Structure 1
Amino acid sequence: MITVLLVDDQRLVRAGLRMLIEDTTDLTVVGEAADGVEAVRLFTELAPDLVVMDLRMPGLDGVAATRQILATSPRAKVLVLTTFDDDEHLFPALAAGAAGYFVKDTEPAVLLDAIRRTVDGDLLFSPALLRRLVDRALAAPSAPVPTPDLTPRELDVLRLVAQGYGNQEIADRLHLGVSTVKTHIANLLGKTGTDNRVRLAVYAAEVLGR
């Protein structure tokens, strides 16, 4: 069972998320917080598998709370769920260590899938945000991109990572086991010198083309 801590200053939003999550058989809500201070305290007490974090809250905001949680528990998973999809909110959240970023008009099924995949180790964003991250990185001056020798299967996996697919989706599309996909991604990270899926997606865009 995946345990989730909900952090949002709006009680109605928390209630809706709780109903959505607890209607599943593999997810459960273990706590709720209305601000960043309470979020950090409850994370320490409850050690949930994942935190669903709003950004704009009174007192300690979501970015600061995410930073504090990751400082005490570097392996913590924080999935941002916010109204704002602009760079002013996105990049500070990523810098604080968020493992994903979605806006509140995300389809319920997509959000539930994102929770599961984030716990599984994916770094997730809505497709539009991922595209913007890649475009911004490509627009910045950079050194020539190295092109290490990749196997045909690694190239297949790399293309799907660039399109935002998670481990299970890649496994389904390539008829592989999830553990095999994880091995390929670990190899890709090592060969390309990248340290997460966003940077791997940027690498893919530079090497394989948009």
Structure 2
Amino acid sequence: MAVLDQLCQKGTEFIEAEDANQVLGVIDSGIHLDLAILDLFMPGADGFELLSDLTARLDGIPIVVLSASEDRSHIRKTLDCGACGYITKSTPAALMIQAFRLILQGGMYFPVELVSTAHSPASCDQLPPDPTLGLTDRQLEVLSLMAKGRSNKMIARELGLSAFTVKTHVASILRTLQVANRVEAALVASRLGIDL
């Protein structure tokens, strides 16, 4: 893939698999991977089952779904299965490169405009009328960086905080916004016009 060629240094090795059995064969071979890119509609397995299996087997290795599907339910299910990103094949090359870079640095990327919060317990009606959503200034800073896909470690470095403090802020943010994950938190903040 030309986009990945632009990201990687000379000598980077790509391993391609045509179906789920080949994917599992690569994983079982013990080859070190820095990133796994999965098509949900790969022959030989249900894409979400395969994604869940890979997430369990590749602990700590980012898994990205690259798909032609722009179905919001697919994107949300991908997030629930533990992927670090979902990139649609219609994504412009420059944005795709930024998304892969972000994921390789420990962040997450999901197309916010396609992630539905319809099933989230948080809605605009349920949230406090306070324009800050009841968050402290520091929590708003953390939320802003979360929305940009930064990992806890990256947020800690950027704000000069300990990783434990960032983890505590993230938990408080999710609890205050009544959401299950970081992407939903960013979506709620965006829908309410918080400057991220």
Pair in the same fold by TM > 0.5:
yes
CA contact (8 A) 1:55 1:62 kept: yes
Match of 1:165 among 148, 151, 161: 148
1:1-210 equivalent positions in 2, closer than 5 A: 17=1, 19-26=2-9, 28-44=12-28, 45-129=30-114, 132-134=115-117, 136-137=119-120, 150-159=135-144, 161=146, 164-167=147-150, 178=158, 180=160, 183=163, 185-193=166-174, 196-202=181-187, 204=189
Q: Please tell me the residue identity of whatever aligns with 1:55.
A: L
Q: Distance in 2 between matches of 1:188 and 1:141?
A: 21
When the two structures are aligned, how many residues end up with a matched partner? 182
Q: Can you give the 5+ residue segments of structure 2 that lack an aligned partner in the other structure?
A: none
Q: CA deviation at 1:35?
A: 1.5
CA contact (8 A) 1:167 1:181 kept: no
Q: Distance in 2 between matches of 1:106 and 1:140?
A: 28
Q: CA deviation at 1:80?
A: 0.7
CA distance 1:134–1:123, change in 2 (3 Å): farther
| Percent of residue pairs identical | 25
CA distance 1:207–1:91, change in 2 (3 Å): closer
CA contact (8 A) 1:148 1:191 kept: no
Q: Distance in 1 between matches of 2:191 and 2:166?
A: 17
Aligned partner of residue 14 in structure 2, secondary structure:
strand
CA contact (8 A) 2:108 2:150 kept: no
Q: CA deviation at 1:91?
A: 3.1
Q: Can you give the 5+ residue segments of structure 1 that lack an aligned partner in the other structure?
A: 1-16
Structure with bigger RCO (C-alpha 8 Å, 6+ apart): 2
Deviates more, 1:178-187 or 1:23-32: 178-187
CA distance 1:122–1:24, change in 2 (3 Å): closer
The alignment's C-alpha RMSD in Å is 3.8
TM-score between both structures, scaled by the size of structure 1: 0.66
Aligned partner of residue 15 in structure 2, secondary structure:
strand
